[in-house]
Amino acid sequence: MSALHYAVRPSGSLLDMWRRVADAGCIALALLAVTPLLPIDTVLLAAAGMTAVLAFYALGAITSLYRSWRGVEGIREAACMAATWSATVLVLLLFAFLTRYTELAGRMGFCVWFVLAPTFMAVHRFVLRRIVAVMRAQGWNLRRYAIVGVNDLGVQLARNIEQTPGLGLRLVGFFDDRNEDRTRPVPADVGARLGTIDELVAQARAGAVDRIYVVFPLRAEERIRGVLQALGDTTASVYLVPDFFVFQLLHSRWTSIGGLPAVSVYETPLYGADGLLKRSFDLLVGWALLAILALPIAVIALLIKATSRGPAFFRQRRYGMNGEEFRVWKFRTMTVCEDGPQVTQATKNDQRITPIGAFLRKTSLDELPQLFNVLAGTMSLVGPRPHASAHNEQYRKLISGYMLRHKVKPGMTGLAAVRGWRGETDTLEKMQRRIECDHEYIREWSLWLDIKILLQTPLVVLRGHNAY
C-alpha cells in the first residue's frame, strides 16, 4: 500500500496578493525618491530595484512574511517585514560586491533607500490594517461561521473571535447532537444553540455558513470523523480546533513533518525572523551598553581586587538555551567561588559577602559582566534568569515543567525579576512563581515585551527588593 501524504497548506487571499504588489511598489518608490542622490546608469538603477524586489520576495517566503496575519498584532508583522528587508540589504550588498559596484553601496543615496523602503512598507501595512478593520466593521468581507460542539472551548473560541473584529467573522450559532442536559448552556452574550449537526449541514448547503469550527475533544475521534463526513457534503470551510488548552502549551505552532501536520506543544518562540530580530536587538543594545559601561566595569573590577583576596570576575556554570551548559560572567561578591554540585544561595546578612559585594548585589551591578555573555550569544538581554546548575538539578525534580524555561536564552533581566520574584528562593512557592513568570514570558514573547522589561528593570533595581 502506498503511503498517504497529507499537507496543511497556507491560505491565500487578494489581500496577500495586494501586499506583494504594494511591497514592490514601496521599494521602487523609495528608489525613485533617492534617484537625484544616485548619479549612476539607469540600467544599473533598474537592476538594483529588480534585485531588491526578487530578493525580498524570496526571503519573505523563508520568513513567512506573506502568510495570513489575521488576528496577529501589527507590530509582529512589521518586525517580520523589517527582518526580511534587513536580510535583503545584505543580499544587495553582496550583489554590489560581486558585480564590482561596492563603491555605490556606500553612497548616501543607497543608505537613504535602505531606510526609506521599509518605512514606506510599514506605513502601508499600518494604513491597510486600519482600512480593512473599518471595512469589516461595516460588514465588508465578512465570513459567517458556526461552531460544532457546545463546550468551554467553543465558548472561548467565540469570545476570542468577537474580541478580534479584524478577523471579519460573524457567528451564526452553535450546533451539537447531544441533549442540552449533557452540554453547558451557551452564554447569552456569546450566541445561541441553534440545533443539530444535520441542521447545520442543511444551512451550509444553502450557503448560510462559510466556515465551521469543530471543537470536540481530541478523544472523541469517532464523533469528529462522523461530523467531518457529514460536512463533506457542503462547500463550507471546516476547521478542527483541538482542545490543546488541557495541556501546558509553550508557544505552540503548526509544523509539517514529511507532509504530515503536527503541532508543537513545547517550542521556542525565537525561530525564523523573530530569532534574528531578538539577536540583532541584543547586539545593538549590548554593544551600546558596553561602550557606556566599560569604564564603570573597569573601576568596579579594580575596587574588588583592592578590597578582598581573589579574582575580580567570577564564572559559574549555568544552563542555557536547550539545557546546554555555559559559564556566566559576574563580579565576585563573596569570599568563596562555589561552582560544584552544591551551591548555597546567598541569604540576608550572609557572612560570605564582601563589603563591596553587598553594594554590588544590592544594586545588581554584579550582573554587568554578563554583557560579555550577551555579545557572545550565550545569553540575551531579557529572558529567564540563569540558575546555578546545582539548583537546576534540584528544582527540576520538584517543579513540573521547570526545564521548559530553557527554550529561550537566559537573560540579564526578565519578567520574573520585574514582577518581584528575584533574589533568594527560600521556599518552593517562590521558585514556582518565578517559573510561572518564565513560562509566561516564553508564551507571550515579543520585542515590545523585551523593551518594556528593560525599561522597568532600573526601577526594580532602585527599590532593591529581595536583593542581597
Pairing of strands 260-263, 254-257: antiparallel
In the chain, the amino acid numbered 314 is: F
Residue that is written with C-alpha cell 470523523 in the block: 225
pLDDT of residue 261: 65
At residue 8, the pLDDT reads 39
pLDDT tens column, 47-96 = 888 889 999 998 888 888 887 776 567 788 888 899 899 989 888 887 77
The pLDDT, as a whole number, for residue 103 is: 52
- pLDDT at residue 286, rounded to an integer: 93
pLDDT value at position 135?
Answer: 76
pLDDT tens digits for range 251-283: 666 665 666 666 777 778 887 778 888 999 999
pLDDT at 207: 82
Mean pLDDT estimate for the chain? 82
Domains and CATH numbers, the chain: 14-137 (no CATH), 143-246 (3.40.50.720), 273-463 (no CATH)
Instruction: Give the pTM.
Output: 0.58
- According to the model, what pLDDT value does residue 305 have? 86
Low-confidence ranges of the chain (pLDDT < 50): 1-12, 104-106
